[in-house]
């Protein structure tokens, strides 16, 4: 018997049809993954189960959870079902947690709302649940606040809140998208263990087929609000029928045709870079203590070379990136571009700064939503002594947009009128418009769907042919780094622990940390091998 049964679910908001006759079921102890690109209806299906829909949403069909028909259930009854019969783990833990409440108080809240437990009993149960998700009392007391935890630790708190009352159904909406590979592996193992230990069913929403392959018992593939294919995981991967499923699989395994590198001369030189941060004093007259985020880092990036930088969150990648851009002072060592220091007397050297540009992880957050694309793309012109004006400015914008596969007419639009992939193309156009010597890609494709990610990586490869790009590609996604770089560096605790040719490092890693990273990365099965 099914724990959750969704039968011919349709959902519309105003005149827009969001879901169209969606049907799926989840049995106790079963993990069902719903996959597809952004806008396919995955999250709206999950929110329909939780009945957390917009005010104007109109639903048809049936959703039955443990004998309860949810679409006809009142909000008061749903409040008793949420947390007790079903729990939800959201994609971004920091927005799911209350920043002014301790982690203990937030886990206890569910227990106090749905049971007659006393505060002392709720505290004991919250401590047990946090222990179960890998946050022991010795290191993570109940009085900790969310900002004192890492991303993976915050996600464990969200999971603890969702399972505090051992619900029969757990919904996980992209629970590992923003996590590095080792933390992702830990969270996935935790979720799988919870399903096995408690016998709960799990509905997992994700666009990562590699995660799905090692996690789910069954897969539901959605596109444009419809289920296009479903089946047992091994069978579906070995015998995909729908063209869309095949496209998703091919995009997940996509490797770009990167042109041959032309290592001509040193471009970026980092020598013995050290970056310290002052720690808060714990006693009034105690000497100031410091945390060393970057420890004696040295490397050289050649002109025409594509260099990767990988490592877990907190290893110092972003700090090193800001130092290269001249946004962070060094306490030791030096950074030069074309032989010139990036900092002069503690201030950014504009002669160097105009030769570097950066593409951020979140393109929407890096743009001013009130400005049109032509103004956004030309922001780097402020670095130039004599920026182009009038017709020359328009021609530069048109050329930059055309180079990234957009139309010159897009220059008069606002950023909210574009999809995520198009926004990232605009971010790349902004980086290209002053023809920099070096581009820094900071997690530039980690938030994109697999098909959009493949398009952006192909675009970068095409720009390498057209412009002879040199770049530093920072990412925690090892599969992306492997296909888009010539050489790779592995960073741990502020130090470069291994570097070398990309294929050499991936095929024969020498450092135990590199070996652990590669082992933790989820891998798609080979459909040919599955079929044999």
- The helix/strand/coil state of 436 is coil
pLDDT of residue 148: 84
For 294-329, what is each residue's pLDDT tens digit? 999 999 999 989 999 998 877 888 889 989 998 889
C-alpha–C-alpha distance, residues 61 and 95, integer Å: 31
For 332-366, what is each residue's pLDDT tens digit? 999 999 999 998 887 888 888 889 999 887 777 78
pLDDT of residue 263: 67
pLDDT band with cut points at 50, 70 and 90 for residue 126: very high
- Indicate the helix (H) or strand (E) that contains 324: helix 317-324
pLDDT band with cut points at 50, 70 and 90 for residue 258: confident
The share of the chain scoring above pLDDT 70, in percent, equals 98
Query: Average pLDDT in the 86-92 region?
Result: 84
For 190-242, what is each residue's pLDDT tens digit? 888 889 988 899 999 988 888 888 889 999 999 999 999 999 998 998 889 99
For 404-434, what is each residue's pLDDT tens digit? 888 999 999 999 888 777 888 898 999 989 8
Task: Say whether pLDDT at 530 is over 50.
Answer: no
- The helix/strand/coil state of 128 is helix
Least confident of 27-36, 161-170, 423-432, 440-449: 440-449
pLDDT of residue 108: 93
Give the bridge partners for 22, in sequence order: 9
Higher pLDDT, 201 or 264: 201
For 454-478, what is each residue's pLDDT tens digit? 888 888 898 888 888 899 999 888 8
pLDDT band with cut points at 50, 70 and 90 for residue 513: very high
Task: Say whether pLDDT at 134 is over 70.
Answer: yes
C-alpha–C-alpha distance, residues 350 and 382, integer Å: 10
pLDDT of residue 94: 75
The average confidence (pLDDT) of the chain is 88
Query: Average pLDDT in the 75-90 region?
Result: 88
pLDDT of residue 80: 86
Contacts made by residues 344-351, CB under 8 angstroms, sequence distance 24+: 350/383
Domains of the chain: 4-94+168-252 (3.40.50.300), 254-355+472-522 (3.40.50.300)
pLDDT of residue 175: 83
Higher pLDDT, 529 or 192: 192
C-alpha–C-alpha distance, residues 194 and 80, integer Å: 22
Task: Say whether pLDDT at 102 is over 60.
Answer: yes
pLDDT of residue 1: 65
How much of the chain is in helix, strand and coil states, percent to nearest 5?
A: 40, 25, 35
Of 186, 448, 175, 498, residue with least CA distance to 315: 498
Task: Say whether pLDDT at 529 is over 50.
Answer: no
Sheet containing 495-501: which strands, arranged edge to edge? Answer: 356-359, 438-442, 471-474, 306-310, 487-492, 495-501
**Cα atoms found within 13 Å of the Cα of residue 174, Cβ hemisphere only:** 19
pLDDT band with cut points at 50, 70 and 90 for residue 69: very high
Task: Say whether pLDDT at 137 is over 90.
Answer: no
- The helix/strand/coil state of 124 is helix
**Cα atoms found within 13 Å of the Cα of residue 288, Cβ hemisphere only:** 6
pLDDT band with cut points at 50, 70 and 90 for residue 532: very low
pLDDT band with cut points at 50, 70 and 90 for residue 6: very high
For 144-187, what is each residue's pLDDT tens digit? 898 888 777 888 898 899 888 888 999 998 887 767 788 788 88
Render 220-257 in DSSP notation, one character per residue: EEEETTEEEEEEEHHHHHHS--SHHHHHHHHHHT----
The share of the chain scoring above pLDDT 90, in percent, equals 43
């Amino acid at each position: 018997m099914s724990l959750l049964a969704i039968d011919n679910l349709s959902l519309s908001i105003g005149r827009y049809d969001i879901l169209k006759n969606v049907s799926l079921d989840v049995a106790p102890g079963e993990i069902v993954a719903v996959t597809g690109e952004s806008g396919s209806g995955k999250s709206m299906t999950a929110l329909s189960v939780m009945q957390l829909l917009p005010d104007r949403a109109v639903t048809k069909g049936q959703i039955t959870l443990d004998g309860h028909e949810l679409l006809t259930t009142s909000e008061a009854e749903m409040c008793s079902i949420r947390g007790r019969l079903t729990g939800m783990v959201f994609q971004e833990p920091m927005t799911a947690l209350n920043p002014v409440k301790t982690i203990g108080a937030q886990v206890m809240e569910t227990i106090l709302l749905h049971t007659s437990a006393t505060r002392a009993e709720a505290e004991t149960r919250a401590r047990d649940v946090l222990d179960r998700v890998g946050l022991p009392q010795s290191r993570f007391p109940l009085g900790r606040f969310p900002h004192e935890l890492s991303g993976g630790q915050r996600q464990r708190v969200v999971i603890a809140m969702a399972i505090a009352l051992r619900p029969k159904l757990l919904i996980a909406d992209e629970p590992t998208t923003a996590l590095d590979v080792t933390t992702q592996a830990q969270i996935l193992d935790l979720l799988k263990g919870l399903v096995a230990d408690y016998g709960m069913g799990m509905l997992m929403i994700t666009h990562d087929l590699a995660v799905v392959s090692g996690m789910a018992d069954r897969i539901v593939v959605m596109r444009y609000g419809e289920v296009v294919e479903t089946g047992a995981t091994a069978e579906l991967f070995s015998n995909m029928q729908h063209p869309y499923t095949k496209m998703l699989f091919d995009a997940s395994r996509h490797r770009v045709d990167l042109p041959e590198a032309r290592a001509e001369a040193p471009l970026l030189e980092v020598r013995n870079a050290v970056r310290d941060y002052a720690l808060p004093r714990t006693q009034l007259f105690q000497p100031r203590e410091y945390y060393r985020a970057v420890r004696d880092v040295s490397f050289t990036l050649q002109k025409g070379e594509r260099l990767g930088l990988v490592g877990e969150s907190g290893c110092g990648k972003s700090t090193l990136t800001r130092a290269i851009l001249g946004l962070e002072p060094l306490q030791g060592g030096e950074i030069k571009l074309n032989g010139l220091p990036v900092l002069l007397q503690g201030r950014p050297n504009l002669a160097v700064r105009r030769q570097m540009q950066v593409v951020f992880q979140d393109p929407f957050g890096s743009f001013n939503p009130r400005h049109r694309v032509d103004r956004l793309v030309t922001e780097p012109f402020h670095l130039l002594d004599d920026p182009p004006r009038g017709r020359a400015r328009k021609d530069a914008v048109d050329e930059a947009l055309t180079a990234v596969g957009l139309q010159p007419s897009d220059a008069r639009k606002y950023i909210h009128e574009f999809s995520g992939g198009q926004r990232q193309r605009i971010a790349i156009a902004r980086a290209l418009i002053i023809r920099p010597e070096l581009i820094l890609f900071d997690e530039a494709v980690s938030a994109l769907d697999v098909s959009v990610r493949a398009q952006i990586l192909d675009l970068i490869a095409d720009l390498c042919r057209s412009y002879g790009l040199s770049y530093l590609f920072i990412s925690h996604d090892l599969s992306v780094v492997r296909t888009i770089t010539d050489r790779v560096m592995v960073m741990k605790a502020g130090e470069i622990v291994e570097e070398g040719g990309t294929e050499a490092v991936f095929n024969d890693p020498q450092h135990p940390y590199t070996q652990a990273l590669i082992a933790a990365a989820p891998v798609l099965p080979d459909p040919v091998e599955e079929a044999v």
